[in-house]
Structure 1
Amino acid sequence: MRLAFLGTPDFAVAALAAIVEAGHEVACVYSQPPAPRGRGHELKPSPVHAFAEARGIPVRTPASMRDPAEIAAFRALDLDCAVVVAFGQILPREVLEAPRLGSFNVHGSLLPRWRGAAPIQRAIMAGDKVTGVQVMRMTEGLDEGPVLSTATVRIDALETAGSLHDRMAAAGAALIVETLAEIEAGRAVETPQAEDGVTYAKKIRPREARIDWTKPGAEIDRKIRGLSPFPGAWFELPTDKGPVRVKALLSAFEEAEGPPGVTLDDRLLVGTGQGAVRLLKVQREGRGPQDAETFLRGTPVPAGTRLS
């Protein structure tokens, strides 16, 4: 089929690559405009933009798809369908309905649970055991369209947002190729979403990232893993030169008791409001990620240290 692909982050690259590999004609890729990245804050294209450009696919980076000129350009592509994966803009009805067969989204949750911006992180933080990817027909409502296909994904005990992201990106890439084949053959079945069980995955805010050790340990553990690797849940570690910020990137809950925020041994077991959290991977400010054993060789943290 002749289609447009609208996506921006790494999560969307796998789907675009699979669509190209499957032989569909990608008439144009749409992505968010280049943004400052890295230490030099140099303007760089998004991962999807860079992938498409490297393969000679035309790329457009409109500030708004509601611009009448952009809507007209999109209509002029004469598309069979459009595929949207984490594009980053709300699309108007004129864009959604322009392709002959409609517009379809690869979404990282089992709808109607976790509609919205951060479904992968919120699923881990909420303690979900299973999540998945779904392809749905796009409507004007936020992630409210009927579902065409589903792939479930287990959430493991030591799952982070980063590891789950990679597995779900691969599952979504395979699923969209299968679904496009069903759409092209006229065999796709659309199932309305349930009206019960709707939850919203709000965008992750920086203020959420600081660890409150008075919270239950299981909740802190899920938060650490749900915010890893970005933005990274963090705490302050006292040192001779003053407190330093440390990100916690991997953890596990343990049935131990002790004062909240105080280390219970010399291997980064930290007391919480209920139970304890074992820090398995951390990152001191200005340095790279390290497993706990390596970190402690350079920065000993004896039992009784109070983290804040």
Structure 2
Amino acid sequence: MEMVKKMDAGSVYAQESVPIMHEDDVGTMFTKLSYVGRDLLLKVLPQILSGSLFSVEQDEQQVTFAPNIRPEEEVIDWRQTAQEIDQKVRGMRPWPIAYMTYQGNRWKIWSVSVLTERTEANPGTIIRATKGQLWVACGNQSILAIEELQPSGKNKQKITDFLNGMGQKVAVGEQVGQDEE
């Protein structure tokens, strides 16, 4: 890309697409894109310097701008579907990390999985908290299993370790999220 003063502007010399896999997050995509960028630069830089490769103007109608993430966007909204929350968690890992609140404390959520089971419970309700499983009801009757979290002031933990330690008091029927009751 030719560098200009305007954001996300300038002519393009080459481009390559990279598939986003389900297990990808911001960190893995950064790594993948770094390697693709390096390889593409090594491939086209000699052509640019020799004058045999010319840039193509971008269609400004196709350019999108991604604003900075605001702190309030890091909060998990349990009214969203489990799939949407899973995407949010991966989209904010390894930084800034999506979070929820529980009894007034912030828990950063590092890893989740979408379950196929359905529930009638209200979004944000803990529906299972036993033997290494912490399930939370989400929007559209979907369920999310929290696999790894980080309580305030603590290290990141697998859910089994958390539930065997400080999470022993977490109970089915309790509410999580900003609108805890």
Q: So what's the TM-score if we normalise by structure 1?
A: 0.51
Tell me the residue number matched to 2:128: 265
Q: Once superposed, which parts of structure 1, at least 4 consecutive aligned residues long, lie more than 4 Å away? A: none
Deviation at 1:226, TM superposition (A): 0.7
The answer to whether the 8 A contact 1:160-1:250 is kept is: no
Task: Tell me how far apart the structure 1 counterparts of residues 157 and 63 of structure 2 sit (CA, whole Å).
Answer: 38
Residue 100 (structure 2) aligned to one of 235, 242, 252: 235
Name the counterpart of 1:51: none
Q: 1:165 offset after TM fit, Å?
A: 1.5
CA distance in 2, matches of 1:233, 1:206: 9
The share of aligned pairs that are identical, in percent, is 29
Query: Take 2:15 and 2:8, find their aligned partners in 1: how far apart are those partners?
Result: 14
Q: Deviations over 1:274-297 (max 9, x none)?
A: 222222221111122222222222
For residue 150 of structure 2, give the secondary structure of its aligned residue in structure 1. strand
Aligned match for 2:109, one of 238, 248, 253: 248
Aligned position for 1:157: 22
Could you tell me which of 156, 174, 177 is aligned with 1:305?
174
Task: Encode CA deviations 1:65-113: one digit per residue, 9 max, x unaligned.
Answer: xxxxxxxxxxxxxxxxxxxxxxxxxxxxxxxxxxxxxxxxxxxxxxxxx
If asked which structure has higher relative contact order (CA below 8 Å, sep 6+), I would say 2
Give, in angstroms, the shift of residue 264 of structure 1.
2.0
* CA-based RMSD: 1.9
Question: 263-272 vs 250-259, which deviates more?
Answer: 250-259
How far did residue 211 of structure 1 move? 1.3
C-alpha distance in 1, partners of 2:7/2:40?
Answer: 21
Q: How many residues align?
A: 169
> Greater share of strand residues, 1 or 2?
1
Alignment of 1:120-131 (within 5 A): none
In structure 2, runs of 5+ residues without a counterpart are none
Say which SS state the counterpart of residue 245 (structure 1) adopts.
Answer: strand
Structure 1 CA distance for aligned equivalents of residues 21 and 114 of structure 2: 13
Q: Are 2:8 and 2:65, in contact at CA under 8 Å, matched by a contact in 1?
A: no
Deviations along 1:218-240, one digit per CA (max 9) or x if unpaired, are: 222211111112111111123xx
